[in-house]
Amino acid sequence: MPHKFNANRRGKIPKQKYRVSNWASYNESLRRRGDLTVWVSEEALGLWRAPRRATRGGQRTYSDLAIKICLTLSAVFKQPLRQTQGFMGSIATLLGVEIAVPDFSTLSRRGKGLTLPATRKTDRSDPVHLVVDSTGLKVFGEGEWLEQKHNTKRKRRSWRKLHLGLDLVSGEIVCADLTKDDVGDPTALPDLLDQVDGPVDMFLADGAYDGEPTSDLLAARFGSAIDVTIPPPKTAILSPNAAKDPTARDCHIAEIAARGRMAWQKATGYNQRSRGETLMGRWKAVIGPKLKARNFENQKTEAKIGVRVLNRMTGLGRPSFERTA
């Protein structure tokens, strides 16, 4: 990113200043993020009980919507499942609603493989400007300082990898996946693209996605006209057929060699990829840097709930910036 290239002379570059032009509405959206009526509506309480099943087997007490609401409250207010049970019970008491609250073991059991319906309402005819990035979420185990200081050995895997795809136009997370820490970014990309059901005309990602498998996959999914911007490494060389039929990667390599990497970033709009890193920071600030669940399937449900929470907060209101200096 630009800061890395300007690190040696950062003190001599004046910092750009911005201000929020819609502060009143954005401030109201920030306040509503903690409003219980945003996360628990009367319509949801009316669908609290599970419908009667016609097949053989036991009758469920709580609907999938009820489980989703409780897990959403757990993610928004950063509470373990036992505290979530008590929190939901107090809400039902204050509202005067006669509903049974699922206990923590039911939330854990039903959260495994919970199906969540799609809620994105953005017009699918608008092309998606997709930014893809990944980050690590801790599960359990000793901290890194303890491992280095006392030379402790890690007994089990303690990280999961969260892959997110952000639409620069709407500001929504349009695709997400949680994998184990040994899954590479290009390997997880096909499953992410399967979740994008609209046209994509721009794709931004870091150098981890560089290579023909990624470019071929994007061209097969969204057509050869898609604008793919992935920085090639410093040691990248042109393809053998670059003189007659250059690829997009060949054009990037030639432009970086001719104008420099900073000019290439500005010309291609690669600087917008920083919004993907901002999304990761937002996730860890709002949802948290750790996963509370221990089972991998429950962890995947927890990640899906986190995506829905951030998209719901984005739908409440976004800031509009204008440059002042």
Is 90 exceeded by the pLDDT of residue 124?
no
Q: What is the mean pLDDT of the chain?
A: 88
State the pLDDT at residue 258. 93
Residues whose CB is less than 8 angstroms from the CB of residue 236 and which lie 6 or more positions away in sequence, other chains included: 210, 249, 253
pLDDT bucket at 241, cuts 50 / 70 / 90? confident
State the pLDDT at residue 46. 86
Residues 137 and 69 in one domain: no
Residues 178 and 107 in one domain: no
Residues whose CB is less than 8 angstroms from the CB of residue 54 and which lie 6 or more positions away in sequence, other chains included: none
State the pLDDT at residue 158. 77
Residues 262 and 139 in one domain: yes
Kindly state the DSSP code that residue 126 receives in the 8-state scheme: S
Average pLDDT, stretch 29-41? 91
Q: What is the pTM of this model?
A: 0.87
125 three-class SS: coil
Residues 104 and 220 in one domain: no
Residues 137 and 101 in one domain: no
Structural domain including 244 reads 128-148+156-291
State the pLDDT at residue 243. 86
Is 80 exceeded by the pLDDT of residue 136?
yes
Residue 133, beta-bridge partner list: 164
